[in-house]
Structure 1
Amino acid sequence: MGDITTFVLYGLALSWLAFSFARDRKKAEQALRKAWKSFANILPAFLVVLLILALVVVLLPEATIAAFLGERSGFLGYLLASVVGAVTLVPGFVAFPMAKVLLDHGAGIAQMAVFISTLMMVGVVTLPLEIRYFGVKAAVWRNLLAYCYAFFVGYGVWIFVKVMR
Structure 2
Amino acid sequence: MTNRILYAVVFILLMASYRKDARKTKTALKKAWKSFENILPQFLGVIILVGILLSVLNPQIIGAIIGGQSGLMGTVISAVIGAITLIPGFVAFPTAALLFENGAGLVQIAAFISSLMMVGVVTIPIESQFFGRKLTFWRNISAFIFSFVVAYIMGRVLGT
**TM-based fold match above 0.5:** yes
Q: Which residue of 1 aligns with 2:6?
A: 9
Amino acid in the other structure paired with 2:90: F
1:20 aligns with 2:17: yes
3-state SS of 2:87 partner: coil
1:5-31 Cα offsets, whole Å, 9 max, x none, are 333332332222122112111111111
Secondary structure of 1:125's aligned partner: coil
Q: What is the CA deviation profile of residues 128-150 of structure 1, one whole-angstrom value per residue up to 9, with x for unaligned ones?
A: 11111111111111001100111
What corresponds to 1:45 in structure 2?
A: 42
Match of 1:140 in 2: 137
Partner of 1:58: 55
Tell me the equivalent position of 1:156.
153
- Indicate yes or no: 2:87 matched with 1:90: yes
SS at match of 2:18: helix
Paired amino acid for 2:104 = A
* 2:69 paired residue number: 72
The more displaced of 135-144 and 9-18 is 9-18
Task: Give the length in aligned residue pairs.
Answer: 160
Rounded to whole Å, the distance in 2 between the matches of 1:30 and 1:82 is 40
Percent of counterpart pairs with the same letter?
Answer: 44
CA distance in 1, matches of 2:32, 2:128: 31
Taking structure 2 as the reference length, the TM-score comes to 0.95
- In structure 1, C-alpha distance between the alignment counterparts of 2:103 and 2:10, rounded to whole Å: 33
* Structure-1-length-normalised TM-score: 0.92
Give the letter aligned to residue 11 of structure 1. Answer: A
Structure 1 vs Structure 2 CA RMSD = 1.3
Q: How many angstroms does 1:37 deviate by?
A: 0.8
